[in-house]
Amino acid sequence: MQGSYSRRRFLKATAAGGAVMALSAKSYSRVAGANERISIGIIGCGSRGVGAHMAGVQKHAKSQNIEITAVCDPWRIHREAANAKVKQWFGRDARQFSSYRDLLALKDIDAVMIASCDHQHTTHLKAAAEASKDAYCEKPLARRMDRLRDACDAVKKARTIVQIGTQLRSYPTFTGCRELYKTGILGTVGRIEQCRNGERPYWYSYVKGVEEKDVDWKEFLMDRPMRPFDPVLYSGWYGYRDFSDGPVPGLASHFIDLVHYITGAKFPASCVCLGGTFTWKDENKFTCPDHVQALWIYPEGFMVSYSTNFGNGSGNSFKIFGDQGVLDMVNWNAPVLTAEGGGKRMGKIRGKNPVKEVPMPDHFLDWLQCMRTRKTPNASIDAGYQHAVACIMAMQSYDTGRRTVYNPQKRDISEG
Question: In CATH, what number is assigned to the domain containing residue 26?
Answer: 3.40.50.720
pLDDT digits (tens, 9 = 90+) for 316-325: 999 999 999 9
Residue-level pLDDT at 4? 32
Is residue 144 packed enough to be buried (19+ CB in 10 Å), middle (13-18) or exposed (0-12)?
middle
Q: Are residues 19 and 104 in the same domain?
A: yes
Nearest Cα to Cα of residue 55 among 70, 68, 39, 44: 68
Count of CB atoms situated within 10 Å of the CB of 9 = 11
Please state whether beta strands 336-338 and 317-322 pair in parallel, antiparallel, or not at all (unpaired).
unpaired
Beta bridge partners of 41: 70, 112
Q: Are residues 156 and 189 in the same domain?
A: no
Domain count for the chain, please give it. Answer: 2
Nearest Cα to Cα of residue 342 among 318, 364, 365, 321: 321
Q: Are residues 409 and 276 in the same domain?
A: yes
Q: Are residues 108 and 186 in the same domain?
A: no
First to last CA, the chain: 55
Q: Are residues 334 and 397 in the same domain?
A: yes
Banded model confidence at residue 1, pLDDT cuts 50, 70, 90: very low
Q: Are residues 320 and 405 in the same domain?
A: yes
The verdict on residue 1 lying in a domain is no
Is residue 37 packed enough to be buried (19+ CB in 10 Å), middle (13-18) or exposed (0-12)?
middle
Tell me phi and psi for residue 161, to 5 degrees: -90, 115
The verdict on residue 2 lying in a domain is no
Contact 385, 406 (CB under 8 A): no
Least confident of 25-29, 90-94, 281-285: 25-29
As a whole number, mean pLDDT of residues 174-201 equals: 97
Residue type, 212: E
pLDDT of 17 over the 80 cut: no
Banded model confidence at residue 38, pLDDT cuts 50, 70, 90: very high
Q: Quote the CA–CA distance of 4 and 20 in Å, as a whole number.
A: 20
Q: Are residues 73 and 189 in the same domain?
A: no
Q: What residues make up the domain containing 270?
A: 171-358+389-415
Residue-level pLDDT at 416? 85
Contact 141, 167 (CB under 8 A): no
CATH code assigned at 280 = 3.30.360.10
Nearest Cα to Cα of residue 40 among 94, 112, 99, 91: 112
Banded model confidence at residue 348, pLDDT cuts 50, 70, 90: confident
The verdict on residue 308 lying in a domain is yes
Residue type, 379: A
The verdict on residue 265 lying in a domain is yes
Count of CB atoms situated within 10 Å of the CB of 387 = 28
Beta bridge partners of 117: none
The verdict on residue 50 lying in a domain is yes
Banded model confidence at residue 350, pLDDT cuts 50, 70, 90: confident
As a whole number, mean pLDDT of residues 164-172 equals: 98
pLDDT digits (tens, 9 = 90+) for 78-122: 999 999 999 999 999 999 999 999 999 999 999 999 999 999 999
Q: Are residues 374 and 260 in the same domain?
A: no
Q: Using CA of residue 267, residue 269, residue 274, residue 276, what is the dihedral sign?
A: positive
Q: Are residues 235 and 321 in the same domain?
A: yes
Residue type, 343: G
Count of CB atoms situated within 10 Å of the CB of 346 = 12
- DSSP assignment of 227-256 equals ----HHHHHTGGG-TTT---HIIIIIHHHH
Residue-level pLDDT at 304? 98
Residue-level pLDDT at 15? 37
pLDDT digits (tens, 9 = 90+) for 130-159: 999 999 999 999 999 999 999 999 999 999
What is residue 332's three-state secondary structure? coil
Q: Is 93 left (phi over 0), alpha (psi -120 to 50) or beta?
A: beta
Residue-level pLDDT at 345? 59
- 288/340: higher pLDDT: 288
Is residue 50 packed enough to be buried (19+ CB in 10 Å), middle (13-18) or exposed (0-12)?
buried
Q: Are residues 136 and 184 in the same domain?
A: no
Q: Are residues 80 and 196 in the same domain?
A: no
Q: Are residues 196 and 325 in the same domain?
A: yes
As a whole number, mean pLDDT of residues 122-126 equals: 98
Residue-level pLDDT at 24? 46
The verdict on residue 369 lying in a domain is yes
Nearest 5°: CA angle at 198, between 193 and 200?
140
Tell me phi and psi for residue 103, to 5 degrees: -65, -45
The verdict on residue 140 lying in a domain is yes
Contact 115, 42 (CB under 8 A): yes
